[in-house]
Amino acid sequence: MSTYNGPYDGKWSKTMVGFGPEDDHFVAELTYNYGVGEYRLGNDFLGLTLQSSQAVSNAKRLNWPLTQVEESLYMTEAPGGYLFYLIDKELPNCDPVQKVSLAVSDLQRSVHYWSALLGMKVIEKNEDKKIALMGFSDNQCKLELQDIGGAVHHGSAFGRIAFACPRDQLPDIEALMKKEKQKILTPLVRLDTPGKATVEVVILADPDGHEICFVGDEAFRQLSAVDPKGNDLLDEAMAADKSDEWFAKHNKQKASA
């Protein structure tokens, strides 16, 4: 069985959010574990960068704290402590999410893993700043690896990066990782969704323990179709969540993880 919700085996729900369909947009999976009110962050996730002057103006209008990093670039902190970098420019023609930044302990080793084994191409590399920008294509969200000069810790709130690929490539990915003696967290497995498609996945871990999920594209497309009522359903779910009231009524505190 795939531990799709990491170490948490209680009641949970998830919401997929992004600027467009998952075929050509980065989408964040937000997981809510009922009863858990706080997580211990690690140093593994260094931030998400998106280009949107609207996001900057929204933050200013709502008095959300912004720190100017450089001209037209602001840093802000999402609930829970996750960093976002906002480029103060109009939305691009492609995905506004420009890159996701992860910490690594050995840049050369990580670049080799993501390029030689997983097939990403190196788009930019700055030896002085110990940063490499990588991607599968020029018009998709990029992966930025930054060498932090020490061990990478994942805390208790870590997630994983997922990529869709033709399902017939999954056995080859698994075989290559076995051949190269790399860590496979979940061997090729079928995940049934009652009434919907059955997807196949392989979950790996890179040299610093960042989890990577490859999922068969054909079935995944059926599960990732945009729901035109998605925003309304999310609003209804948040309005219906009375967990804070329940914990207060029973004189209990939400757990920390």
Tens digits of residue pLDDT in 77-98 = 998 899 999 999 999 999 999 9
Sign for the CA dihedral angle at 163, 158, 15, 133 comes to: negative
Return the pLDDT at 6: 56
Residue ranges matching CATH 3.10.180.10 in the chain: 1-38+159-250, 41-152
Q: Which residues contact 6 (CB under 8 A, 6 or more apart)?
A: 158, 159
Return the number of other C-beta atoms located less than 10 Å from residue 145's C-beta.
26
Residue 250 pLDDT: 73
Q: For residue 2, is pLDDT > 60?
A: no
Does pTM surpass 0.75? yes
CATH value of 1-38+159-250 in 3.40.50.2300, 3.10.180.10, 3.40.50.1580, 3.30.70.1150: 3.10.180.10
Q: Taking all residues of the chain, what is their mean pLDDT, rounded to a whole number?
A: 90
Q: What's the rounded mean pLDDT across residues 149-166?
A: 93
The answer on pLDDT for 49 being more than 70 is yes
- Give the pLDDT of residue 1: 37
pLDDT for residue 98: 97
- Please give the pLDDT value at position 257: 67
Residue 4 pLDDT grade (very low, low, confident, very high; cuts 50, 70, 90):
low
- Which one is predicted more confidently, 202 or 36? 202
What pLDDT does residue 174 have? 98
Which residues fall within 8 angstroms of residue 50, CB to CB, at 6 or more apart?
19, 84, 85, 86, 87, 96, 97, 98
**Whole-number Å distance between alpha carbons of 51 and 141:** 11
**CATH no. of 41-152:** 3.10.180.10
